[in-house]
Structure 1
């Protein structure tokens, strides 16, 4: 650990390290997400269809661009345009680019400078990868997983379906990295979403959620931000057949969801959990202890008997008496043990307690010792 610029087990890079984020003052939040794609990426021209879908998705999921989205939609409403949603999706990228360029020439505020790379749009060329690391989790495309025993292509994303928030389950078929000006990047997953309509594509019971892996939907909305996805696994469902798989959600072993404050109530006490400390509120129990102590002291207090004041000499004399009694008891126990040993020795010597050890052990050769 004292050596510099040498990798050891104390300072080596984590296996699932997702790199460093671009957290500058003039960087949008969508450009500051951390991810690390694999190095086997291919740099090529993005198809126009995928480029339009990804550009719109990035614009529609950027908080700083929400005001401009509302402004453009209001202009379309004032113009009484038919199919407002489709026109808004088609025309907004170019309208947003012109709007930001005009504001950029007039005023070079911080907010406009931050929006400038987003308004210019991504490069027509991008990189596709077979795997990446996002939020400390490895993701692979389906084609890469087919060559391995492990599974890393399953994801779940929360989204809206018929004005209701549901979980969309799918598999990653491609990983696309968009490049913007000023070295800003965005990573997206191109997915195939399983059809989750009731009974046809998804069935739930008390313990498991099973989905049909042969039916798909939302084919035009196949892209999501990589940071929006969570990994899941799909295992075979022996009950419903080969076309059905059970969704297995899990918590990564090195990632933890720590609540800011959580309260657990029990019958006897209340446990508060915070980020800083864990303490137990014993206010009710401590109050009861104080009340019991006061009641006990009130019972011991007597007004009908005069108090007796003792001098320190009297207390010392009593303590000395107790010490002498205790000392005599210890000596009495020692005397008893000595008496028992004396009697046992006397009986072993046949009553001749005065015989010396040398005399008892001295015998002639050939004489038997009588026992």
Structure 2
């Protein structure tokens, strides 16, 4: 048996160790290599990486725009990544460095090896130079660092904000965006509020918004513990917290507060990460992302200070092409690696010898896993039940679409006798939503219409159940319908099983009364509309989970819900419903509708969670979710017409967020009528006489101890062997 190495999955500092190309300094981008666009900031004393206009089409108007960018036109082409043969050719121009510390020496910019630190040993593999992707960019940490930069800048957190006095002085030194330059008078300086800055009250609103968010069970950690309402700070976010924050929560809040010229590119970048993180990638959609991400970064270049554009802000421009070559990001990111590193770290018992402890723990885990295969009657990690029990659904050819098989092992229910009115409502909803009974539904409506009855829908709702029962009984005596349809017509047992929670369609649902004192929210539900309803979706909150039993060991799961207001067909607004230009939906939780029709089938339900508005207490924004462990895989088989395979039965597409186009250039970068920060003019630093840069080589060992670009995601802490602080080792 032979093994082949497809690529490496690593964080960005490890990228330098594995590839040999240093990810620090002015040539930090391994895709742009020697053509990396870099600028040394005089006051910020760091490199920034902009120049994203190179990736636009040659005839794009922004290439000729000077005032909104760096006062220069852009005529360069986008850099072409190095192929494997190019790397081998460049490796031939320098000698492999020896291990150990070496003395520093001046760098020659004309040297052929540019940012190479060493030769990658992977090129000893005969096929390595032919791979299109050799090392994956770390999308997980890229997204986290971008989220931290935006959040730190919005809240103006010390050490996290990219919009500081030095950033404004760099704008002044570069002679761009004059309305953001420091204003000095009477020994003091003032900074105008930029279009991405928040006032003090808005910062409190953002912290209050994040503090009050309740998300579904297992969806993310409790953000409340990370928010400091007094100091208007957010700290201690895990990597996945930033993933949820950047893609779901921040866009909801920002859209109503900040100007459109900031909101549009922010939403575009958020949707870009959501698209490449999708379980299914469409090549056409990836090609579109490759064309739009340069425009998104250029829009941000127009607004944000150069100090914002560190190397992490530049790397997204290469992610869409990498996803096209390598496939979904979920299989190439650092999430499973970091989680397993945390598992290995938990094996450490003797911190004087962590490697030996990890080896012993790993061997013990492997031995126990092997032995557990021989003990079928003992509870082990291999046969332990799932956290949530899944509701079974009978998809056999003889079953009905609404029926599931009764699972007698399910517990946690109470019996409740349904009233006649409730039974009639339930029976009517089940029959009218059963695919096999659609013909009789249409037949009854036609009869009422031909008879010239008034209020056809009302009479249909009142009379259809009894009519259907008589009709099916007659057909059953003639042998024209099966026993399941006959059981459907007779109705369920009036003694229903009522649950507080259930797991169905890949979602975990709870009723509203159970989670009043919880920090999670699993009662939000949405039912998709069809063409007859104008494709409007109905949003509500689960009040009761009911299982009704039919003969032949069949059951139907129903949700009794409170439904929020929705507009009429082809409208985006009503008294309790608003859909803005970006596609986000807000509903008023005090305006309820369809009180006489509260039931839906469990198999129709999809999950949403509601984020409360800090200004309007009764209004909430809707966040739609995708089911876990379910994929829209096509069915295997050849169609006679050659059109391809049918899609899977479960449609898991989430509603799109719209990003409107904004025309024209940015003419003002400040928020008028709002006061910004101020301070003593003596605090303004002078430009350093010498630019340190990277003209001197760092130590060729690329030691991690001196690596200032290490990205700590807060998930796997550093291994610190400090005897005085034993408790902090296990985080």
- TM-score, structure 2 as length reference: 0.33
Matched, 1:91 2:91: no
Give deviations 1:161-220, integer Å, cap 9, x for gaps.
984111111100111111212221101111111113425323324263322222111211
Distance 2:412 2:544 in 1: 13
37, 40, 57: which one aligns with 2:429: 57
Distance 1:88 1:81 in 2: 10
Indicate the structure (1 or 2) with the bigger Cα radius of gyration: 1
Report the equivalent of 1:105. Answer: 477
Computed over aligned residues only, the root mean square deviation of the Cα atoms, in angstroms, reads: 2.9
Distance 2:404 2:538 in 1: 25
Pairing of 1:1-371 with structure 2 (within 5 A): 1-23=373-395, 26-32=398-404, 39-107=411-479, 111-159=481-529, 163-197=533-567, 198=573, 200-203=575-578, 204-206=580-582, 208-238=584-614, 240-258=615-633
Alpha-carbon contact 1:36-1:133 (below 8 Å) kept:
no
Alpha-carbon contact 1:59-1:65 (below 8 Å) kept:
yes
How far did residue 157 of structure 1 move?
1.0
Alpha-carbon contact 2:560-2:600 (below 8 Å) kept:
yes
Alpha-carbon contact 2:564-2:589 (below 8 Å) kept:
yes
Distance 1:249 1:213 in 2: 17
How far did residue 74 of structure 1 move?
2.8
How far did residue 41 of structure 1 move?
1.8
Distance 1:5 1:20 in 2: 24
Alpha-carbon contact 2:557-2:602 (below 8 Å) kept:
yes
Alpha-carbon contact 1:38-1:130 (below 8 Å) kept:
no
Query: Residues 120 and 84 from structure 1, CA distance in 2 versus in 1: closer, same or farther, beyond 3 angstroms?
Result: same
Distance 2:492 2:445 in 1: 23
Query: Residues 80 and 37 from structure 1, CA distance in 2 versus in 1: closer, same or farther, beyond 3 angstroms?
Result: farther
Alpha-carbon contact 2:576-2:591 (below 8 Å) kept:
yes
The alignment partner of 1:13 has SS state of coil
Distance 2:397 2:624 in 1: 37
Distance 1:192 1:160 in 2: 20
Alpha-carbon contact 2:389-2:502 (below 8 Å) kept:
no
Larger relative contact order (C-alpha < 8 A, sep ≥ 6)? Answer: 2
The alignment partner of 1:241 has SS state of coil
With 205-214 and 131-140 compared, the bigger mean Cα shift is at 205-214
Aligned length: 261
Query: Residues 26 and 257 from structure 1, CA distance in 2 versus in 1: closer, same or farther, beyond 3 angstroms?
Result: closer
Report the equivalent of 1:270. Answer: none
Give deviations 1:121-172, integer Å, cap 9, x for gaps.
1222212221111123211111001021111001111126984111111100
The alignment partner of 2:617 has SS state of strand
Alpha-carbon contact 2:488-2:550 (below 8 Å) kept:
yes
Alpha-carbon contact 1:43-1:127 (below 8 Å) kept:
yes
Distance 2:447 2:577 in 1: 41
How far did residue 66 of structure 1 move?
1.3
Alpha-carbon contact 1:37-1:133 (below 8 Å) kept:
no
Distance 1:10 1:85 in 2: 54
